[in-house]
Amino acid sequence: MNIYYGIPSGLQINVEERETSKRLISALSALPCHTRDFTTDDPYPFEAIAGTPSLIHAFNLAKSGIQCRKLAEKSRLPLIISCSGLDVYADLFNPVIKSQLQDAISYATRIIVPFPAMARFIKTRIHTNSHIEVITPGIQPIEFFDFPREHFGFAPDERLIIASGGLLPAKNPIFAIHSIDRLVNEFKNLRLVILSEPFDPDYRKKVEAEIADRPWVKVIPRPEPEILPFLYRMAEVFINVSHAEGYNPCLIKAMQASRPILAADIHGNNSYIRNEKNFPGSGNGILYFTSPSPSGYERIHDTDDFIDKLRFLLSNSDQATELGQRAGATAQKTFSLQKELYLHLQMYKSILA
């Protein structure tokens, strides 16, 4: 099998797609399977690869699927498209490219989604009969140890709230900044930590303006994927305040690190998080209320509900710790790297048989 992976262009904004493709390529390299990844702005000519790969696997419906659909048709190859999140929950609302997305979905031999709710959403928005397959993302097992906090510039007494994602409008970090502003005087040494990548240049300027007079907010470089779980393990609370999510490695790795999680009740988050408020004693995180807004995929986030639930986690360390332990148990049970690889291999074989 010769599998060619199409990765969206843009190093700063396609973290999930790059991580997934690298994970699969690394695992498949130990098997009799040739792999190659290329970006959607790769100058590699379409004609030159005709007949070389067995199939093309695109990551991200909008940023890679449209381009790879053209390549697959020209090369007469099967096409698989993995959806990640915003390509479904935001881009399918975009009238400019919706017909192209629908065409790519209809052409693809398989559409892969990380959880069943995304498959239902696609069928509702597109009304397609395409073969959609659910493959839960996997994570590499980790043996945790006490990683030095000073490596990231944190003091021993700082109470860290770490936010999921980077400096993107969809990740909504300004909401977190404004909300936690109301708690910094209530809890000593409270710090909000935001990763600098991925980012949107214009939105990054807005975030930088917001934190200029808020020394309790720290924006740090995004560490290597192998280090992220150790960073998240330092969080007293891990938060996700996004407008939309799909496959979110940040959330999954925070669960793996057994962190108490407070997340927006949105697509993606509510597929991974069993809300403790609805299932007392058996939840693996807490969801706060959001509602639809007139502006497409964006949500209206309930600030008071977010603050109340964050205050609860900060004030009840024993219950927060227990919640985090359940998150860790869920991650260990659910996000199997071996199962993810097995399901991909079986899918490839069934298509090429």
The residue extents of the domains of the chain are 2-138+336-352, 149-334
How, if at all, do strands 290-292 and 299-301 pair? Answer: antiparallel
CA angle 80, 83, 86 (to 5 degrees): 150
What does the pLDDT read at residue 50?
52
Judging by DSSP bridges, how do beta strands 290-292 and 34-39 pair with one another?
Answer: unpaired
Q: What share of the chain is helix, strand, coil (3-state, %, to 5)?
A: 45, 20, 40
Reference 219, options 176, 258, 260; nearest CA is: 176
Cα-only R_g, the chain = 21
In the predicted model, residues of the chain with pLDDT beneath 70 are 10-14, 42-51
User: Nearest to residue 193, comparing CAs of 214, 162, 168?
Assistant: 162
Exposure b/e, 296-320, CB count within 10 A at least 16 = b: ebbbebbeeebbebbebbbeeeeeb
Helix (H) / strand (E) containing 133 = strand 132-134
Q: The whole model's pTM is what?
A: 0.91
In the prediction, which pLDDT does 75 show? 84
CATH topology classification for 2-138+336-352: Rossmann fold (3.40.50)
| Six token digits for residue 287 | 């969801």
Residue in 138, 145, 59 with CA at minimum distance from that of residue 104: 59
149-334 sits in which CATH class? alpha beta
d(CA 147, CA 329): 21
What token pair was written down for 44?
């590699």
320-to-86, 211, 255, 261 alpha-carbon distances in Å: 30, 27, 13, 9
Given this model, what pLDDT does residue 44 score?
Answer: 58
Task: Give yes or no on whether 2-138+336-352 and 149-334 have one common fold.
Answer: yes
Distance between CA atoms of 21 and 36, rounded to whole angstroms?
Answer: 10
Which DSSP category does 344 fall into?
H
Please write the tens of the pLDDT for every residue from 262-314: 999 998 999 999 999 999 999 999 999 999 988 778 999 999 999 999 999 99
| Residue 260 near residue 184, CB atoms below 8 Å | no
